[in-house]
Amino acid sequence: MKTAVITGSTRGIGYGLAEAFLDLGCQVVVSGRTAEAVELAVGDLAAKYGPGRILGQPCDVCVFDQVQALWDASMERFGAIDIWVNNAGVGNPVMGFWELVPELIESVITTNVIGVMYGSKVALAGMVEQGHGALYNMEGLGSTGRKIDGLTLYGTTKAALRYLDEALAREVKEKGITVGALRPGMVVTDFLLCQFEGRPDDLERAKPMFNILCDKVETVTPWLAERVLANNKNGAVISWQSTWKMLGRFLTAPFSRRNLFD
C-alpha cells in the first residue's frame, strides 16, 4: 500500500487525485491552507473510504515550516511517503499584465514557484533519507512554451516549473528517486472559473471553446493517478492532453453535445 501526499487537495484537481489514489488502494494525506477546508475534505473522503487510510494536515505551502510539518505528520502516521504531489497553486484573472496589482503578482509567484520549491526540497530531502520516493509537480499553461494573452503571470510560473522539474530529475538520477511532471490539461474547476470573476459575459463567450478543450476532474484524475503508480521513469511528463486528442475534439465538435457546465 503506497502513501501519497497531495498539497492543495481539499478541492479541484487535488481532491480528485486524493479520491483517485484512494480508489486505487493507497493511503492519502490531504492538505490545504485552512483547518476547516481540510476537515471538510477528509470528512467527505472518510465517509466513502473509511478513515483508516486518510490523514488531514493543514499546510500553507508558502510557509516552509508548515511544509516540513506536512512531511513529518505524514511520516508519523504512515511510516513512509512514496508519492508527493505539489499541486497547490493559484491563478490570475485574464487581463493585461500591466493591470495586475503587485500583491497578486507576489501571491501567484510565491505559491506557484516558491511553494513548489519548498515542497520539492522537503520531499526530496525526506526521500533521499528513506531511500525511495517519487515527486511530481503540477505543470500547466506555460510549461510547453504556449502563451495566452492575459495569463502571462500564471504561464510564467509554470514555465519556471518546467526548468525546475528537468533540473531536479538530473540531480536525483543516482539517488533512486523519481521526479516527474503532471499536466492535466484544461479542467473545469473553480481555478478555471475564477479567471472570469466579475465578467460573466466573457465566460459565456468562452464556454463553447471550453466545452471542446476542457474535461471534468473525475475524468482526468483517475487517469493521472494510475499512471503515477505505474511510472518508474525519472523525468517523465504525464500529460492528459495530446495534439491528436485535441484534433479529434475539434473534428467531432460539430456532432457532439459536450456541456461541462451543467
Q: Return the active site residues.
A: 154
DSSP of 149-184, one letter per residue? TT-HHHHHHHHHHHHHHHHHHHHTTTTT-EEEEEE-
Its sign, for the CA torsion 105, 111, 116, 119, is positive
Provide the 3-class DSSP secondary structure of residue 125. Answer: helix
Which among 252, 179, 177, 167 has a CA at the least distance from the CA of 213? 252
Which among 46, 32, 138, 36 has a CA at the least distance from the CA of 87? 138
179 pairs with which residues across the strands? 135
Which DSSP category does 197 fall into? T
Which among 224, 189, 194 has a CA at the least distance from the CA of 12? 189
Give the span between the Cα atoms of 72 and 247, in whole angstroms.
45
